[in-house]
C-alpha cells in the first residue's frame, strides 16, 4: 500500500529517503498558481517539470503518447521518480504511463481535487478511456506515496465538490454511515472549508482501502466499490457528466433497479435523495442510458453481471444478475 503523507512539506523528506536518479513532476496548469509549497521540490537537483492540462481529455491515447514521449526526451530511467500533481485524470493517466514506461517506473500522487483525494488516488488502479468507453484499458500500478493536503481544496468550485461527493457518499452507503451523518450538516458550499472535511476524506479513504487490502486486483469483494458505477460509467462520457455526478445518478438508478428486483429496500434510495437535497445538489435523472456501454462493464461475464448492492445503509454485498434482468429495469 502507498505511504500516506499529510503535506507537500513532508513529501520532501520522503523523496530524499527513497532516492531517485531524476525527479520528474507532471503538473496540471490549473494548480500551478496554488503550488507554492511545491517550489522547493520543483527546483530540487535533477528535477524536471512537465506542464499539462486537466480533465477527461488526459485519459485518451494521444495524451499517453505525449507523456511517454516527454519521458523519453527527458531521459527518465528505471530509477527515476515521477510526481503527478493535479486532479484524478492527471493521477490516472500519469500512473498508467508510468506503469508501461520501461515496464514500470515509480510515481507519487499529489491529488488536488476532492474526488482524487477521497477516492481515485488510492488503490493502485490506472486506466485510460478507449473507443468512447470509460477505463477500458488499464493496469494495477500503485503510487509509492500519496499526499493528502486539504489546502488544495479551498479553491474548488461547486461542481468539483459535487464530483468528489459522488464517491464519498458511495463510501458511506456501502460501509460507513458516519460519513453520511457528517455530510448531513454540510452543503456543497460549506464543505471545502468545513472542519469536518479532513475527517470525511479520511473515512472515505479507509472504506476504499478496506476493500483494496482484501482484494487488491479487483477479482471479488473489491467490486463493492463499484456501487453506482455500472450505470454511472455508461452515462458519464455520453452525457458529458463529471464522474461524481455520474456516480450519484448511477446510484439512484441502480438502487431503483435493486428495488424492482427485490434486492434493496426503497428507504435506501430515499436516504440518498434526501442527502442529495440537503447538500443542495440538483441531478438530472431523466438521462438516456447507454445500454451498449452497460454491457461493456468489466463485471459482466457470460451475460451475467456481478452487481454490488446495498442490503441496508452501511451494509453491502455482491449478487449475480442476468443482463436481461438489468436492461428492462433501466427503461
Which helix or strand (DSSP H or E) is residue 146 part of?
Answer: strand 145-147
Residues 42 and 191 reside in one and the same domain: no
- Give the per-residue pLDDT at 331: 44
Say yes or no: 138 and 220 in one domain.
no
Residues (pLDDT < 50) of the chain are: 330-331
Number of structural domains (the chain) is 2
Name every residue whose Cβ is closer than 8 Å to that of residue 305 and which is 6 or more positions away in sequence: 230, 297, 299, 320, 321, 322, 323, 326
On whether both 173 and 322 belong to a single domain, the answer is yes
The per-residue pLDDT for 87 is 93
Q: φ and ψ at 293, to 5 degrees?
A: -70, -40
Based on the domain organization, do 87 and 164 belong to the same domain? no
218: domain CATH number is: 1.20.1090.10
Under a CB-based contact definition with an 8 Å cutoff, are residues 298 and 225 in contact? no
Question: Strand, coil or helix: what is 237?
Answer: coil
The enclosing domain of 68 has a CATH number of 3.40.50.1970
Q: Does 137 lie in the same domain as 171?
A: no
| Cell numbers representing residue 139 in the block | 493496469
Name every residue whose Cβ is closer than 8 Å to that of residue 16 and which is 6 or more positions away in sequence. none
Helices assigned H by DSSP within 175-227: 177-183, 197-214
Task: Lay out the sheet containing 315-322: strands in order across.
Answer: 300-301, 304-312, 315-322
Q: Are 196 and 186 in contact (CB under 8 A)?
A: yes
Q: Do both 65 and 187 map to the same domain? A: no
- Tell me: do 74 and 144 sit in the same domain: yes
- Determine the Cα angle at 155 with ends 55 and 110, to 5°: 55
Q: Which of 153, 171, 197 is the last residue of a domain?
A: 153
Residues 184 and 295 reside in one and the same domain:
yes
Cβ density class 219-250: b for 16+ within 10 Å, e for less: eebbbbbbbbbbbbbbbbbbeebbbbbbbbbb
Which residue, 153, 176, 207, sits at the end of a domain?
153
- Shared domain check, 208 and 113: no
Burial class (CB in 10 A: 0-12, 13-18, 19+), 160: buried
Both 143 and 180 in one domain: the answer is: no
DSSP string, 48-67: EEEEE--SGGGGSHHHHHHH
Q: Does 257 lie in the same domain as 213?
A: yes
CA distance 64 to 202: 30
Clarify whether residues 161 and 293 are in a common domain: yes
CA distance 204 to 116: 11
CA 87/CA 298 separation, integer angstroms? 24
Parent domain of 47: 3-153
Residue from 268, 280, 249 nearest 310 by CA: 268
Amino acid at each position: 500500500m502507498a505511504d500516506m503523507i499529510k503535506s507537500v512539506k513532508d513529501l520532501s523528506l520522503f523523496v530524499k529517503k527513497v532516492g531517485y536518479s531524476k525527479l520528474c513532476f507532471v503538473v496540471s496548469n490549473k494548480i500551478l498558481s496554488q503550488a507554492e509549497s511545491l517550489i522547493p521540490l520543483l527546483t530540487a537537483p535533477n528535477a524536471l517539470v512537465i506542464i499539462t492540462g486537466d480533465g477527461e481529455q488526459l485519459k485518451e491515447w494521444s495524451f499517453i503518447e505525449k507523456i511517454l514521449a516527454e519521458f523519453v526526451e527527458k531521459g527518465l530511467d528505471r530509477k527515476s521518480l515521477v510526481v503527478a500533481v493535479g486532479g484524478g485524470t492527471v493521477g490516472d493517466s500519469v500512473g498508467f504511463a508510468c506503469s508501461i514506461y520501461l515496464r514500470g517506473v515509480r510515481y507519487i500522487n499529489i491529488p488536488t481535487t476532492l474526488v482524487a483525494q477521497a477516492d481515485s488516488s488510492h488503490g493502485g488502479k490506472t486506466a485510460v478511456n478507449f473507443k468512447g468507453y470509460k477505463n477500458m484499458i488499464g493496469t494495477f500500478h500503485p503510487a509509492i506515496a500519496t499526499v493528502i493536503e486539504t489546502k488544495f481544496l479551498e479553491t474548488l468550485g461547486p461542481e468539483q465538490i459535487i464530483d468528489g461527493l459522488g464517491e464519498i457518499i458511495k463510501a458511506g452507503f456501502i460501509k460507513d454511515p458516519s460519513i453520511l451523518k457528517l455530510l448531513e450538516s454540510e452543503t456543497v458550499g460549506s464543505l471545502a472549508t468545513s472542519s469536518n472535511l479532513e475527517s470525511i476524506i479520511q473515512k472515505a479513504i479507509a472504506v476504499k482501502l478496506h476493500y483494496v487490502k482484501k482484494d487488491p486486483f479487483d477479482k471479488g469483494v473489491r467490486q463493492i466499490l463499484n456501487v453506482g458505477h455500472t450505470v454511472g460509467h455508461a452515462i458519464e462520457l455520453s452525457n458529458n457528466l463529471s464522474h461524481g455526478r455520474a456516480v450519484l445518478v448511477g446510484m439512484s438508478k441502480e438502487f431503483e433497479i435493486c428495488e424492482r428486483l427485490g434486492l434493496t429496500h426503497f428507504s435506501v434510495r430515499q436516504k440518498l435523495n434526501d442527502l442529495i437535497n440537503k447538500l443542495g445538489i440538483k441531478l438530472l435523472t431523466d438521462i438516456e442510458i447507454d445500454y451498449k456501454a452497460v454491457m461493456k462493464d468489466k463485471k459482466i461475464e457470460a451475460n451475467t453481471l456481478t452487481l454490488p448492492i446495498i442490503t441496508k445503509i452501511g451494509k453491502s454485498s455482491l449478487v449475480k444478475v442476468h443482463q436481461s434482468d438489468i436492461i428492462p429495469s433501466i427503461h
